Amino acid sequence: MKFAYSKHDRNFMSDDASTVIKSAHAKHAKNAMNGEMEADSETRKEKYAADISSIKEAHARIKSLVHRTPVLSSESLNAISGRQLYFKCECFQKGGAFKFRGACNAVFSLDDTDASKGVITHSSGNHAAALALAAKLRGIPAYIVVPKNAPICKVENVKRYGGQVIWSEASMKSREEIANKVWQETGANLIHPYNDGRILSGQGTISLELLEQAPQIDTLVVPISGGGLISGVTLAAKSINPAIRILAAEPKGADDAAQSKAAGRIITLPETNTIADGLRAFLGDFTWPVVRDLVEDIITVEDSEIIKAMKLCFEILKVVVEPSGAIGLAAVLSDAFQNNPAWKDCKHIGIVVSGGNVDLGMLWKSLEK
C-alpha cells in the first residue's frame, strides 16, 4: 500500500485561484477573439490540491508555531547577478528548513482522535525532522521510516526531536513497504512529504510572508523536487500578484521536473546523481498540475554551480545553507538564466533558501573540489 490521502487533501479551486489561472491564460492569448479566450480558459481550469484560502487558513493555524523567517539582501550579490536579490531564509526556520511549515499544518489539522494515534512518514531528510518536531509540539508519537543512506545530520535531527527512527533500505519500495507495516501496526496518520494538500498549504505561507516583506519582487526562484514547496509558493504568489514570474531551480543530475515540463507529463528517472540530497524526489499528482500550468520555466544547474553558490552564501551572506538551499542562487547566476532574453525584465528576484541542514563531512569534501 502506498500513502493514502483523505478527501480533504483535494481542495476545490477557490475563486481567487480561478481568477489567477484565467488571467494567466488571457495574457498569453490577448490577441485572440474573446470567445476563443473564454474557451481556452475553460478547458485549462484545474482543481489544485491547495488554494489561497487553504494557505491563509494554514497561516492562521501555524503562525504562532513557526518562525517568520528574515529576508536578507547583499549589494555584493546584487552586483554579481546584475539583479536585486531577496533571500527568504528558511534555513532559519524551526528544524532548519521550510518543511516545518507543511508538517506543522498537517499535524495540527488532525482532530484529537486521529492525532492520538500519531503520525508516520518515510523520508531521508528535512520532512522527517519537521514531522518529528511538529508531533513533539502536539504531544503525539512520530514514526519515521529512514533509508540507510540518509544524511547523518538529518537523522540526528529526527532523534533530537523525539521521532522514532525505523530503518529501511534506500529503495522507495523498501521505504513504502516498511511504512505500510508500521501503519498497520499503529494506525498512525500517513503524512506524505509533498503530495498532500495540507503540506502544500503550509509551504504556501512562505509567499504570504515574503511578498509582504518585499512587495517589489517580480520573480520567484524556488527549488524543485517533489514539488510541494514550489506548488504552495506558486499558488499563493500568483493569487497575490498574478503577474509574478515563478522559476524552478533543479540539479541536472535529477532533472525529472524539467523533463516532465518539456514532455507535458510526469517523467521519473531510474536514478539521480546530485549533491543536493533534498532534491531527489519526483513530482506527484498533486504537485504536477501546478508545475505544468503556473511555473514559467525550470532552470537546471550542475553540482559545481551549486557548490559555488554555497560558497557565496557562506562568504558573503554569512549564512549556512545546504546544497538544496543554494540552488536558487546557482540558477540566477547560471548562463541559462543570465543569457536568456526572456528573463531580462526580472529585476527584483526573491530566492527561497530552503534549508541549512548540512552534512559537514560532505560539505568539506565538496569545498575541496
List residues with catalytic annotation: 99, 124
Residue 87's contacts (CB-CB under 8 Å, 6 or more residues apart) are: 71, 72, 73, 74, 317, 319, 329, 351, 353
Q: How far apart are CA 4 and CA 138, in angstroms?
A: 22
**Of all residues in the chain, what percent are helix, strand and coil, respectively (each to 5)?**
55, 15, 35
Closest residue by Cα to residue 252 from 327, 149, 312, 318? 327
Backbone angles phi, psi at 288, to 5 degrees: -60, -45
DSSP 8-state assignment for residue 124: S
Strand (E) positions, the chain?
Answer: 71-72, 84-89, 119-122, 142-147, 164-168, 189-190, 219-223, 245-251, 297-301, 348-353
Burial 153-190 (b: 16+ CB within 10 A, else e): bbbebbeebebbbbebeeeeebbbbbbbebbeeeebbb
| 346 Rama sector, left if φ>0, alpha if ψ -120 to 50, beta otherwise | beta
> Which cell goes with 170?
534506500
Strand-pairing partners, residue 181, are none
> Which cell goes with 175?
521505504
Cβ(227)–Cβ(287) below 8 Å: yes
> Which cell goes with 77?
550579490
Strand-pairing partners, residue 352, are 88
Please name the amino acid found at residue 345: D
Backbone angles phi, psi at 50, to 5 degrees: -145, 165
